[in-house]
Amino acid sequence: MRLTFLIAVLTLMISCAQERAVRVKADRPLTAEESRIIEIARQAVASNDTWVARAEFEAPKRDGKGWSVMVWRLPYTPGGYRVVLIDEDGSVTAYHRGH
């Protein structure tokens, strides 16, 4: 009886999860700050496009002004990418669509 109840609770918890795992293309584990930047970029894609569930995020790149994240819509297609620019405070400063 306990096992059945435990399985039912776990199934309910899994099915109620609101967000899917984010697909990230990186050659090493992300730092906590990079993970935060990916989440900001994910929110930007979710707000501006309809395909966030099919998105693949490249590891964030830092420049002198903040971060840039390349986001691909899967499957890969010409122009099927976005570049999200994020400042040091975590604000999206630009959202560029691919051509």
What's the pTM?
Answer: 0.79
As a whole number of angstroms, the distance between CA 27 and CA 85 comes to 21
For residue 47, what are its two tokens?
Answer: 């707000």
- Band of pLDDT at residue 82, cut at 50, 70 and 90: very high
Share of the chain above pLDDT 90, in %: 77
CB-CB contact of 44 with 84 (8 Å): yes
Query: Mind listing the pLDDT tens digit for each residue in 15-24?
Result: 554 556 899 9
Check whether 5 has a pLDDT greater than 60.
no
- Residue 65: the pLDDT is 92
- Band of pLDDT at residue 10, cut at 50, 70 and 90: low
As a whole number of angstroms, the distance between CA 86 and CA 45 comes to 13
Residue 42 vs residue 8, higher pLDDT: 42
